[in-house]
Amino acid sequence: MSELKKRISVILEAPEADINTKLLKICQLLDQEIEYYNWTGFYFRNGDKEELVLGPYVGAKTDHTTIPFGKGICGQVAVSGQTFVVPDVHQQDNYLSCSMDTKSEIVVPILKDGKNIGQIDIDSHKVNPFTKADEALLEWICQEVGKKM
């Protein structure tokens, strides 16, 4: 994971790229390097509204381009500000299905000045693939992204 962190740092420090280009490159890198990441994307708070709007992502098209706070895993993380790992989405009551292939999900908040401004959302086609190393990597990514926002 340390090699991935180095490569992500290079992406985030690139002076010529705007933030959306950088975020898309991060999604692409994670998608290429971690085989059980099958949908990788960012959601961001829509101004002062209590909703999330889809940002850069890699994976199948989703109908969930706007998610109200509290709805689904992403909406819950928008409220709690805490990482949420769902080992099996079929066991989760408040799950928004994006794909029939999705079996698990991890959502990590992006905080700026203590406020939740967005999150990274990863879906997997495997049950329970996410490890503490995944959590640590994604939390680090979100911390670094928060510094750039």
Determine the length of the chain. 149
Is the model more confident about 52 or about 99? 52
**What is the percent of the chain where pLDDT is above 90?**
80
| Range 48-75 average pLDDT | 93
- Distance from the Cα of residue 26 to its chain's centroid: 10
Query: For all residues of the chain together, what is the average pLDDT?
Result: 92
2-13 and 19-33 helices, crossing angle to 10° = 160
- The per-residue pLDDT for 95 is 56
pLDDT of 90 strictly over 60: yes
Q: Is residue 82 within 8 Å of residue 109, measured between CB atoms?
A: yes
pLDDT in tens, 111-131: 999 899 999 999 999 999 999
Residue whose structure tokens are 């790229």: 17
More confident residue, 97 or 61: 61
CA–CA distance, 32 with 30 (Å, rounded to integer): 5
**Distance separating alpha carbons of residues 76 and 107, to the nearest angstrom:** 9
| 2-43: pLDDT as tens digits | 899 999 999 999 988 899 999 999 999 999 999 999 999 999
Q: In the chain, where does DSSP find H-type helix? A: 2-13, 19-33, 72-80, 132-148
CATH number of the domain that residue 59 is part of: 3.30.450.40
User: What domain count does the chain have?
Assistant: 1
Strand ranges (E), the chain: 39-45, 51-58, 66-68, 84-86, 104-112, 115-124
**Is 69 a residue whose pLDDT tops 90?**
yes
Would you call 74 helix, strand, or coil by DSSP? helix
Q: Which residues constitute the domain of residue 128?
A: 2-148
Indicate the pLDDT class of residue 83, thresholds 50, 70 and 90: very high
